[in-house]
Amino acid sequence: MPGNVSLIPVKSARNLGFIFDSNVTLDDQISAVTKSCMYQIRDLKRIRKSLDVKTAGIIATSIIHSKLDYCNSLYYNLPSTRLHRLQLIQNAAARAVKNLPKHDHISPVLKSLHWLKVHERVQYKILSLTYSALQFKQPTYIYRLLEVKSNSSTRSSDCVTLVRPSNSSRLKVTDRSYHFYAPALWNSLPQALRRHSSTCSDHSALDLSPQLFHSKLKSYLFMKSYPPD
């Protein structure tokens, strides 16, 4: 690069389709997702009378959840007001699928569709990535961020527990990095989901297969999305 070339700061920039702003608030990204999803939801409403509920649900999952879930681990620890903007998108999609008016109570509708709410969908993505990193050591750039606590004689010694690094930074955005939040989120899972494999000497290997882990994980997070009365 020539020495006389200078870089001009910008307020936001797109990387792999995700918009990062200079303050990492992700407001621009959320606004872009909202605009795109609401356009698709309006189109779904136009053809809704020609569809049954199952087909409408498949379409909503394909065009709306795919946008909400893209890089959604970056939404972790955002202020609730920003996550609520994303939840409003999912609410609108659920009403379109069920062909319901705007002001109907939404939680029973989301529950009937078996959709995790946005907050739990973010956690699902992070925990899924963490499971894959521990079980298969892939992707390596994530696996290298994790440190498994050595086994001891405690009750939880048959579980895979992660060491949470200390955060010496005063920047709040540091708390949103995978390196710091993933261990705490992983360690909060029930022990049945973190059970160490009894047939493998690898201290990070888990007992549950990918299919069973993700099934149990969704059930666990579903209960968090819709706690019993």
What is the average pLDDT across 190-197? 94
Predicted structure pTM score: 0.90
Phi, psi of 14 (to 5 degrees): -100, 130
Q: Is the model more confident about 128 or about 168?
A: 128
H/E stretch holding 18: strand 18-21
pLDDT for the residue numbered 48:
96
Model confidence band, residue 107 (pLDDT cutoffs 50, 70, 90) = very high
Domain boundaries defined on the chain: 12-115, 122-225
Matching residue, tokens 């007001």 = 81
Contact 48, 96 (CB under 8 A): yes
pLDDT tens digits, 132-152: 999 999 999 999 999 999 865
- Locate the DSSP E strands across the chain: 12-15, 18-21
What is the average pLDDT across 24-42? 97
Residue 9 sits at the vertex; the CA angle it makes with 5 and 11, to the nearest 5 degrees, is 155
Cβ-proximal residues to 17 (8 Å cutoff; 6+ apart), any chain: 70, 71
